[in-house]
Amino acid sequence: MANKMKIRAWIENDKTTVKAIIFHPMETGLRKDKKSGKPIPAHYITEVSCEHNGKSILNCMWGPSVSKNPFFSFRFAGAKPGDKLKISWVDNKGLSGSTEAQIS
């Protein structure tokens, strides 16, 4: 699985809007393979965190009910253009990923 994520962040009316998508299979463990009939093992993101200039601003606990390639968006105050934003995730198999972006 590729560690791929896209982030956009911009300031509008003193609030920063963040939109991100994480490319991840998000398997619940309840589906079966059509050819073999065997269950597809659970593989989903359990934690997502976001940092603004190294300070934690958001922590999410996710589970198997979140859709494949989850998209999420949030807003926060106190950022300036050029500040760094980092989003990280960890899944139930111990895999992880992170991406940084600059706020425009």
The pTM for the full model equals: 0.90
CATH classification of the domain holding 46 = 2.60.40.10
Is the pLDDT score of 5 beyond 80?
A: yes
Domain boundaries, position 76:
4-102
> Considering its fold, how many domains does the chain have in total?
1
Which H/E stretch holds residue 4?
strand 4-12
Report whether 103 contacts 78 (CB < 8 A). Answer: no
Q: How many CA atoms lie within 13 A of 93 on its CB side?
A: 13
pLDDT tens-digit readout, 7-62: 999 999 999 999 999 999 999 999 999 999 999 999 999 999 999 999 999 999 99
Task: Give per-residue pLDDT as tens, 49-80.
Answer: 999 999 999 999 999 999 999 999 999 999 99
Identify the pLDDT of residue 2: 52
